[in-house]
Structure 1
């Protein structure tokens, strides 16, 4: 007979109320965080990666303080080299989608090279950062392509100590010889910059000597250039850290939605399809008979009808996209009949939504013909057009019975839309449309046109004397005050300077605006 100490403990009852609750260890990360962990530890970057990061910082400090143009593309190429070196040292393979995302990100940075307008440039830069981050992370599912563009920012802070590991590693070859030289060079460069700038400011002869050696040396620019160095360094190292240790957002556990019954799922969509079909039939009648039959109703202003109809139809398009996504999540999918029903109802709804997109764009065209083109109007029209492309992609995914490519195709279409939008020059299109409208009807909002960028100069140059002077007054002042370094000058800015050099703007801009019917205190 065994002793009590050697006896086996009695088994616990699963529903024992006295059993202590199982508390997960605080050292164990949650499941969603495990899904995004790197597959292996981040390798030490190596001297070439650090050198590329330092080169990106130095080039950024030298050229980005004067403005944005081809210099931004040059800095991005250096950061791409740092990322490529880090990814290669980490053993990552170059995939076709990685190359495609990288090329699209660099092409988006061509927008500042060609256009002078700030708003499409900002949109292109932000999109390029997102697409570049997606290229570094990878991803094919919705979680990957939606979170991948945001994951880059989490790598910025740890990238600097990660790069410093190269210099702290005792196994690094020739460390004892290289580190003292680097430290001494950095201290010497700092002393020369600070005291040289002070001597140049104190003595004219020294200032002329330093001006010949370093044309861009300026004490006032020093803080900005230090900031640009830090930004260029951290962005390049962040790209390298992302390439060496990307988060795998595609591994996020996403549970499929609970299937609904055919009647419960299909009845709301059938009703919605009938409503959309009625709208499409009305629009077909309108397109055949013309809008004039509707606009002859008392109290209906054509411009108001077009404006209100556009915004309402834009919301219809956005909400329909949400409905399609939710319906797909809860769709019945057990049998072939269920899958055929899902394809039929969702495909019909997407096809009818294209009629909504066409109607919205036509109404915007009516409104633009009445009041002219503006930045807001061209922006929302571009968004509506892109939503139509998204619905076409959704229809193609249903027809081909394969949607593995759909998330990346939607993001790619958005990036290409931003690139095309910027390369077309929205301000140039706005000016061209308003000038053509003025030549036909004599109506012109010169107060709005004078707020455009240098992209609008070729079109505004066709206006008659007073209106031309008033429209180009602010643009001419901005171009005369702006720096003109080759690397920070866009093609549109150079073209505008050439036009204004051949045909300068008259100095009496205020009087010209008054004669053109515009006052300085007028708020359009």
Structure 2
């Protein structure tokens, strides 16, 4: 039974009887009667005759709504734990990524599938022209996705894309693994920049790595597109599968017949087709997945790139002129004092070095190259921090900043030249190695960055982040195309002709890129230097798509003039080199 009064009774109590009202209808309170068979169900009470004393006036159509009791307006009880409603927070990149991309196109899906198949078939045997073959359908997948999303092709996008494809030519030309690694990493970074289109410092840095952010979203996007197309066109999918199966059977049957009929055709097929075996199946599956995921991530990024330029770094509070300029002027004076003492060494010769320092050129060069390299790196850091807290009052402040930092850049360029001169002295004494040529290339690139900073101070810094990225990619490309191992072998050959020592053991560990230079050595030096390289080429059976031009050229040279067996003479040459002190003097070389 309900403990609350009925609505009719409340209206009766709330409305006083009107004067002069005649007999009117009354609404009696219904009785709570329950059926014995259904105790939870109430029967309507029978109507009772109206009583004159309980008359209620008729409700007017324009009267106010009935009054609700106060307990119906009471607020809900307070939460004793003071809990707040948790709203789902948006993703960290939701404000940087535009609207979701449109549905994936069939052309994009086919390009992704081609990338995955080529990755599984070609990349398992090594690196070479196959990287370019895999990159072409991946680039097409990104192009089709960007076209479907309405993105336009911009000049900087073309610049990054062409640079990335050019870097992938290094594995096709050079056999050395370390320039190849640098080129592949740089190519991936430039490809990511081409898809994102960043222009600020932070945007260029994060944009070169932002491709990995699209991997999960790209997989979901691709799976959703495959599922939608499978539901809409099951008949066409079955037809395509049947056609592909029939074509594969025809190729296998007739290809086997023609190969058995002609040995030359069999050799051609063996060179063109990849060598597949069950033992390589897990590795091929991994490469298939890697190509699929990479191509989908590239396509998704092209359709919905993250706008990394939206992350801005606010400049630091501006300092006063004296507070900002005084430390930098002191640093410039220190640089000037150091350079004044270095000019005699930089412009003088070896006799001047011995006269001024009492050290031989090699010891002098070893003493300071790394310190000067770190001084260059720290100077770039000082310039970045100085720009962050530079005074920004007006034209006079801009002139002060450009003048102080411009002088610092010019003085640092002289330090770079001094470091390169020290490396030249050291290489003249001990020869060129992979590490020495690498650190010299880094120091040279830092000098290029300083020149770009000077140009930005004159013409504006809007293009400076992208110019620095272009210089880095161009440096990696030039480093690979110049063939570092070939340069090392050429310099060693020149040192030998100038009556210097030659390290046969070190030269024998170079790649096939060094064979053209080492082939000009006289016997037995030639055979001792090329023995290990020839043994490595004989044990390698890489197909054409996983072999570089440097390796093919080395094979031709060694086939024309085979290496002779001179083990005893090679051992004697190594002993004589050690007795002359070459190894002993170079053993404590930190680089």
| Interval containing the TM-score (normalised by the shorter chain) | 0.7 to 0.9
Q: Structure 1: how far apart are the matches of 2:187 and 2:348?
A: 45
Residue-by-residue CA offset, 1:79-112 (whole Å, 9 max, x unaligned): 1001000111111111100000000000000101
CA displacement at 1:60 relative to structure 2 = 2.0
Aligned length: 496
The 5 A counterparts of 1:108-119 are 108-119=167-178
**Cα offsets for 1:410-435 (capped at 9, x unmatched):** 00100000000001000000111011
Deviations 1:242-263 (A, max 9, x none): 1111111000132111101111
Q: Counterparts of 1:123 and 1:262 in 2: how far apart (Å)? A: 43
Q: Partner residue of 1:460? A: 518
Match of 1:12 in 2: none
Aligned to 1:417: 475
1:428 aligned to 2:493?
Answer: no
C-alpha distance in 1 between matches for 2:321 and 2:358 = 46
CA–CA distance in 2 between the matches of 1:24 and 1:260? Answer: 44
> Is 1:54 aligned to residue 113 of structure 2?
yes
CA contact (8 A) 1:35 1:249 kept: no
Contact 1:66 1:483 in 2 (8 A): no
What is the match of residue 88 of structure 2?
27
| 2:441 counterpart (359, 375, 382) | 382
Q: Any residues of structure 2 matched to 1:333-412 within 5 Å, and which?
A: 333-400=392-459, 402-412=460-470
Maintained 8 Å contact 2:344/2:352: no
CA change 1:33–1:65 in 2 (3 A) is: closer
Kept in 2: contact 1:35–1:252 (CA 8 A): no
SS at the partner of 1:516? Answer: helix
Asked whether the 8 Å contact 2:524–2:570 carries over to 1, the reply is yes
1:512 to 554, 562, 569: 569
Residues in 2 aligned to 1:423 and 1:289: alpha-carbon distance in whole angstroms: 33
Q: 1:25 and 1:391, CA in 2 relative to 1: closer, same or farther beyond 3 A?
A: farther
CA distance in 1, matches of 2:121, 2:348: 63
**Contact (CA 8 Å) 2:274, 2:543: kept in 1 or not?**
no
Decide whether the 8 Å contact of 2:346 with 2:421 is kept in 1: no
Q: How does the TM-score come out when normalised to structure 2?
A: 0.77
Separation in 2, partners of 1:67, 1:185:
32
1:304 shift after superposition: 2.0
**What are the superposed Cα offsets for residues 95-134 of structure 1, whole Å, 9 maximum, x if unpaired?**
1000000000000001011100000001100000011001
* Alpha-carbon distance in 1 for matches of 2:542, 2:410: 50
Instruction: Indicate yes or no: 2:212 matched with 1:153.
Output: yes
1:319-344 superposed Cα distances (whole Å, 9 cap, x missing partner): 00000000000000112111110000
Among 527, 531, 539, the alignment partner of 1:481 is: 539
Find the aligned partners of 1:268 and 1:23 in 2 and give their Cα distance: 52
**Alpha-carbon distance in 2 for matches of 1:215, 1:356:** 52
| Contact 2:202 2:311 (C-alpha < 8 Å) held by counterparts | yes
Deviation at 1:366, TM superposition (A): 0.2
How far residue 29 of structure 1 moved from its aligned partner, in angstroms, is 3.4
Residue pair 1:332, 1:338 contacting (<8 A) in 2 also: yes
Distance across 2 between alignment mates of 1:439 and 1:68: 35
CA distance in 2, matches of 1:494, 1:355: 42
1:396–1:25 Cα change, 3 Å: farther
Provide, for residues 275-319 of structure 1, a one-character-per-residue CA deviation record: whole Å limited to 9, x for no partner. Answer: 111122222233444453342367624212102211110000000
Secondary structure of the residue that 1:384 maps to in structure 2?
helix
Residues in 1 aligned to 2:372 and 2:172: alpha-carbon distance in whole angstroms: 35
**Aligned: 1:136 with 2:136:** no
Task: Report the alpha carbon displacement of residue 161 of structure 1 after superposing the two structures with TM.
Answer: 2.7
What is the Cα deviation at residue 186 of structure 1? 9.5
Counterpart in the other structure of 2:159: 100
Deviation at 1:21, TM superposition (A): 11
Do structure 1's residue 251 and structure 2's residue 313 form an aligned pair? no
Q: Which structure's relative contact order is higher, taking Cα pairs within 8 Å and 6+ residues apart?
A: 1
Please say if residues 295 and 302 of structure 1, whose CA atoms lie closer than 8 Å, have aligned partners that are also in contact.
Answer: yes
In 1, Cα distance between the equivalents of 2:337 and 2:124?
57
Distance 1:500 1:120 in 2: 23
Moved more, 244-253 or 98-107: 244-253
Structure 2 residue aligned with 1:470, among 484, 509, 528? 528
8 Å CA contact retained: 1:375, 1:430: yes
Decide whether the 8 Å contact of 1:469 with 1:512 is kept in 2.
Answer: no
- Cα 1:426–1:298 change in 2 (3 A) is closer
Q: Which residue of 1 aligns with 2:296?
A: 237
Deviation at 1:181, TM superposition (A): 5.0
Does the 8 A contact of 2:202 with 2:312 survive in 1? no
Query: In 2, are the aligned partners of 1:166 and 1:172 still within 8 Å (CA)?
Result: no
Q: Taking structure 1 as reference, are residues 184 and 437 closer, same or farther at Cα in structure 2, changes over 3 Å only?
A: same
Mapped to 2, the partners of 1:79 and 1:21 lie a distance apart of: 54
- Deviation string, structure 1 residues 184-211 (Cα, Å, up to 9, x no partner): 789999999xxx9xxx9xxxx9xx9x99
- Other-structure match for 1:13: none
Question: Which blocks of at least 5 consecutive residues in structure 1 are unaligned?
Answer: 6-19
**Separation in structure 2 between the aligned mates of residue 484 and residue 471 of structure 1, nearest angstrom:** 23
Moved more, 105-114 or 287-296: 287-296
Distance 2:442 2:510 in 1: 21
SS at match of 2:501: coil
Q: In structure 2, do the counterparts of structure 1 residues 511 and 60 end up closer, same or farther at CA, with 3 Å as the change threshold?
A: same
